[in-house]
Structure 1
Amino acid sequence: MCCIFTYHLIQCPFYQSERLRVISNKFKELGADFLLLMVAVAWGSTFFVVQAAVNETPVYTFLFWRFSLAGLLMAFISFKQIRYLNFKVLKAGALLGLFMFLGYAFQTFALTYTYSSTVGFITGLSVIVVPFVTYLIFKQKASMFSTLGAIIASAGLYFLTLNNELGLSLGEFYAFVCAMMFALHIVFTGHLSRRHNIYLLVTIQFLTVGICSFIGGFIMEGSIIPPNTNRLFVDAIAITVIFATIFAFWVQTAMQRFTTAAKTAIIFTMEPVSAGIFGYLFANELLTFPQICGAVMILGGMLTAELGSYYMEQYRRRNNAI
């Protein structure tokens, strides 16, 4: 009798439409997570290119040209969306741009006071901060699988960055503020992308970073004119504008509508993993055994959050069908 009842329940149009809706939402989430993974890979693949360019070009000058050009290109792409421009989307885009700029700014300050491995580790701890910020601001709880995945990924970050110099210096404080800014950027991107036009949100965000970098360049560096406009600078700007800025942040803003901020933060921990892989393949950098273990742990954290949410959804569906 139970089997017959279940069979007829499955055949019910309401159940079928509900089941299709759940499956459709899950495919959207998986697709969004995959594209966000591509964002992390895009950032990681350009890391050694940016590092080489910044060795010759002051940081704020590089950020100004990168985000200003990206903003102008996005403005051209978004020209037909101008009818949706209003004060609310302007404020939302400026807020995201401010979080992004402050993240880059405090990361730069931190690097002048402490080791890059320390900065990389503390910045990556935004993966732990995101679930708490999401709950404090929007009262949205992360699943236990996302929380567990975040903890595993954070442990992996420790091994990947080979961090042995944690302390309480000014550099660590700046790195922590940087992590908070990037965490706020992820959380508010997920919230605001559901409420505003994606094209305008990204365009305003880029232009805000460009304006802030222009101000920071004159204050900290005295100019925003690059000292060398050689092939390295041009290539680095072109690659970062197209792949690491327009593609990456547009995809992030568009895809966070279909997934959670906590999972996004975990997926983004794949950035240093992909940076290490590309550095090994194309820049003759070495990968030590602890770094490989860290990369595997980060991948494990991401799979824990992904598969955990999938099986949790399956469990809920079975309970609702009974």
Structure 2
Amino acid sequence: MPGTRRTDLVLLLVAVVWGSSYLAAKTATGSAPVLTVLFLRYGISALALVPLARGINRRELKAGFVLGLTQAAVLVLETYGVTHTSAANAGLIISLTLVLTPLLDRRGLPPRFYLAAGLCVVAVGLLTSAHGLHAPGVGDLLMLAAAVVRAGHVALVGRLSTGLRPLQLTTVQTLVGTALFAIPAVPHLPTHAGASTWLQMIYLALFCSVFAFLAQTWAIQRTSASRASLLLGTEPIWAVAIGIGLGDEHLAAPAVLGAVLMLTGTTWGQSIERAHRESRPQPVPVTQG
């Protein structure tokens, strides 16, 4: 059906945009400090969202404040992490969120799920030791921390966002992030930056934040959670493809194996969790990014 194809295309586009965000953030931080990049990402997003979000109520303010703090923590770890590792590695390691989130939800899961999670752990080891056995780099460790915090953030969204309007909730989160990063960022604003730097900032804000979230919400309302989860789960594939194709990155043989195991483990874990969830009357909202 044309409507189904259009919805699938929108979800796939969201996954592509999120996959590209790692290379965009890595490139942007080459021209401005991390906290400045985050301030501009949040600030531009807020300028776009505030005129659209009207009548924010007290519950949305409270939930948005808490989620704004956890979301900011995720982006700090992700952005610092990607500056010290490849965009491809960052996108693959952050996909651990897909198997960590169900674990944090504390629901009984089949033993097979833990096998899938273990496969992902092996994959991380291969990705972080692609050039021989050694301690994981700072960037890889930060991305691992980001995956844990992001899983907690997603679980928290599921608990706090029930009955709240996504647009208003997201607007509050962007305002919280803007306020958090304003003081350390303002002295380092790239006033003499070139057009490419500003385009990267605008892309991160309007496409990777505003467009991706609103498009995801629109699409999920028109399809099943399972189908949406499957399409959004392709994010790490796009992160690798864009990192290699546009960022001149490469994966050594162990890292290639790690990438395959990571994609296999997260996809397998998703399917197990989804089947387990659908067998019980406890629907869980799909939330990414």
- TM-score, normalized by length of structure 1? 0.66
Q: Is the aligned partner of 1:197 residue 2:139?
A: no
Label 1:173 to 1:229 Cα distance change in 2 as closer, same or farther (>3 A). closer
Q: Is the aligned partner of 1:71 residue 2:46?
A: yes
Corresponding letter in the other structure for 1:153: C
Q: Percent identity?
A: 25
Supply the distance in 2 between the matched residues of 1:143 and 1:251 (Cα, whole angstroms). Answer: 32
Label 1:186 to 1:172 Cα distance change in 2 as closer, same or farther (>3 A). same
Instruction: Count the aligned residue pairs.
Output: 269
Q: Which residue of 2 aligns with 1:158?
A: 125
Supply the distance in 2 between the matched residues of 1:231 and 1:170 (Cα, whole angstroms). Answer: 30
Give yes or no for contact 2:78–2:142 (8 Å, CA) kept in 1: yes
Q: 2:241 aligns with which of 277, 283, 295?
A: 277
Corresponding letter in the other structure for 2:268: T
Q: Deviations over 1:152-172 (max 9, x none)?
A: 3343333334465437x9988
Label 1:224 to 1:76 Cα distance change in 2 as closer, same or farther (>3 A). farther
Q: Which residue of 1 aligns with 2:261?
A: 297
Supply the distance in 1 between the matched residues of 2:52 and 2:194 (Cα, whole angstroms). Answer: 28
* Cα deviation, residue 53, structure 1: 1.7
Label 1:292 to 1:267 Cα distance change in 2 as closer, same or farther (>3 A). farther
* Cα deviation, residue 269, structure 1: 7.2
* Cα deviation, residue 204, structure 1: 0.9
Give yes or no for contact 1:189–1:256 (8 Å, CA) kept in 2: no
Label 1:301 to 1:171 Cα distance change in 2 as closer, same or farther (>3 A). closer
Label 1:53 to 1:315 Cα distance change in 2 as closer, same or farther (>3 A). closer
Any unmatched runs of 5+ in structure 1?
1-27, 317-322
Q: Deviations over 1:66-122 (max 9, x none)?
A: 1111122122233xxx23x2111111111111011122334566789xx537x9587
Q: Which residue of 2 aligns with 1:246?
A: 210
Corresponding letter in the other structure for 1:60: L
* Cα deviation, residue 143, structure 1: 5.1
Q: Which residue of 1 aligns with 2:175?
A: 207
Q: Which residue of 2 aligns with 1:46?
A: 21
Label 1:216 to 1:172 Cα distance change in 2 as closer, same or farther (>3 A). farther
Supply the distance in 2 between the matched residues of 1:182 and 1:310 (Cα, whole angstroms). Answer: 19
Give yes or no for contact 1:36–1:255 (8 Å, CA) kept in 2: yes
Any unmatched runs of 5+ in structure 2?
281-289
SS at match of 1:76: coil
Aligned-residue RMSD, C-alpha: 4.1
SS at match of 2:261: helix
* Cα deviation, residue 249, structure 1: 3.3
Give yes or no for contact 1:110–1:171 (8 Å, CA) kept in 2: yes
Supply the distance in 1 between the matched residues of 2:231 and 2:113 (Cα, whole angstroms). Answer: 11
Q: Deviations over 1:210-267 (max 9, x none)?
A: 111113425xxxx14215331221210221122211123345667789759xx96x98
Q: Which residue of 2 aligns with 1:58?
A: 33
Supply the distance in 1 between the matched residues of 2:215 and 2:110 (Cα, whole angstroms). Answer: 24
